[in-house]
Amino acid sequence: MPDHEVVIVGAGPVGLLLACLLVQEGIDVVVCERRAEADPRTRAIGIHRPGQDALDAVELGSSVRQRALRLDGGDVISRGRTLASLSFTSDRPVLVLPQQQTDALLRERLGMLSPGALLSAHAVRGVRDEGPFVRVSVDMSDGVREITGALVVAADGVRSPRREELGIAWRPRAGAGTYAMADAVDVSGDRRARLYCEPDGLVESFPLPAGRRRWVVRRRSADAELLTAAAFLDVVETRTGVRPEMPDEVAPSVFDAAQHTARSHGRGRVVLLGDAQHEISPIGGQGMNLGWMDAVRLAETIVRDRAGGRYDFRGYGRRTRRSARVAQRRSAFYMSMGRPVHGASLVARDILIRTLGSAPLRRGSAGMITMRGI
């Protein structure tokens, strides 16, 4: 008998959500996380309808709704003119909550459902599929030990060492760019997002809870490093005419947006999940939500097959690849809209944005942003 039914590698939002779903079904789960403390990085903020449904499934929906800011809609602006304005319908609200808070809620929920299921400072060094079970080497504070699981789910992020160990190819998809981001003070109560599609490149701004607003700037090679608040604010102001209020000590962070898909959903009893399976550009802002949708699908598969002991993840693989393809195509489109562009191409882009924001297409455009059809 293996030590556990399911060993999850990685306590990011996706691994944690899967753990909660499985424990709720009476399944014995452990989550091995290499970090000793929660991830302090600022990443996801947008929670869409499919993500809200997944959070409801682990009884966290109302806690998230209480803490999150609900976006009223968004405007696409270029050179001072509003090209398109969208609102989100009440059946597809967009919630905004920094990922650290969402992660903390998931950790707390798992702790309530199964105290001790989360093993922090437990870095997985290798997995070996032995047929009826998988052997997992785990680096604990007192040395490397082995635990066994009937299944192993690798939810270990974009760089997924487990995906590499299994030799699963990581295929690039269209859509890449470099961005800088920082959070400013905004006590105006304005709940609209703004996308400035400017000739020198995209600037995005999203309201956050607690009187703050996130700014994201597409970097051009000509830009300074944008690593200080002053340099960041100068670029925002030059492109948009707006100078956010940001304390000097704020250090903008730089990230590279890229998109990839794993060639397969896993091997044998080791399954990939979340960013380990597909990377969606943060400019689409859907990677975490997609990972949660996949976690729900994976939990359904595990619950369906566990009695017979023979797991069939092919349907899970097909559905998750299809969803990722759609999300990546949309993200690549959004990124292309934010490229630096001049002359006739700029005029053509403005016309396209106006068309997408026009009355007949507006609903469809809002649906794309809120993950309809994924």
Ligand X SMILES: Cc1cc2nc3c(=O)[nH]c(=O)nc-3n(C[C@H](O)[C@H](O)[C@H](O)COP(=O)(O)OP(=O)(O)OC[C@H]3O[C@@H](n4cnc5c(N)ncnc54)[C@H](O)[C@@H]3O)c2cc1C
Nearest approach, Cβ of residue 17 and ligand X (Å): 8
CA 374 to CA 365: how far, in whole Å?
14
Nearest approach, Cβ of residue 45 and ligand X (Å): 5
Nearest approach, Cβ of residue 159 and ligand X (Å): 7
Nearest approach, Cβ of residue 158 and ligand X (Å): 6
Which of 164, 237 has the CB closer to ligand X? 164
Helical residues (DSSP H) of 260-339, grouped into ranges? 287-305, 314-337
Provide long-range contacts, Cβ within 8 A and 24+ apart, for 224-227.
225/254, 226/180, 226/252, 226/254, 227/180, 227/251, 227/252, 227/254
Which of 79, 321 has the CB closer to ligand X? 321
Which of 184, 349 has the CB closer to ligand X? 184
Terminal-to-terminal C-alpha distance of the chain: 38
Which of 106, 302 has the CB closer to ligand X? 106
Beta strands in 60-108 (DSSP E): 69-70, 73-78, 81-87, 95-96
CA 216 to CA 195: how far, in whole Å?
9
Q: Which residue is nearest to ligand X (CB)?
A: 12
Which of 34, 49 has the CB closer to ligand X? 34
Nearest approach, Cβ of residue 78 and ligand X (Å): 23
State the DSSP H helix or E strand holding residue 19, giving kind and residue range, or none if neither.
helix 13-24
Provide long-range contacts, Cβ within 8 A and 24+ apart, for 221-228.
225/254, 226/180, 226/252, 226/254, 227/180, 227/251, 227/252, 227/254, 228/252
Which of 215, 255 has the CB closer to ligand X? 255
Per CB under 6 A, residues contacting ligand X are 9-15, 32-35, 39, 43-46, 99, 123-124, 155-157, 161, 255, 274-275, 282, 285-289, 291
Q: Name the CA dihedral angle for 117, 119, 125, 130, rounded to a multiple of 10 degrees.
A: -20
Amino acid residing at 115: P
Which of 13, 244 has the CB closer to ligand X? 13
26: phi > 0 → left, psi -120 to 50 → alpha, else beta; which? left
Which of 156, 198 has the CB closer to ligand X? 156
CA distances from 208 to 69, 215, 217 (A): 6, 10, 17
**What single DSSP character describes residue 72?**
-
CA 240 to CA 304: how far, in whole Å?
52
CA 282 to CA 256: how far, in whole Å?
9
Question: Position of tokens 């922090």?
Answer: 120
CA distances from 165 to 49, 161, 236, 271, 307 (A): 34, 6, 42, 12, 29
CA 162 to CA 291: how far, in whole Å?
17
Nearest approach, Cβ of residue 287 and ligand X (Å): 3
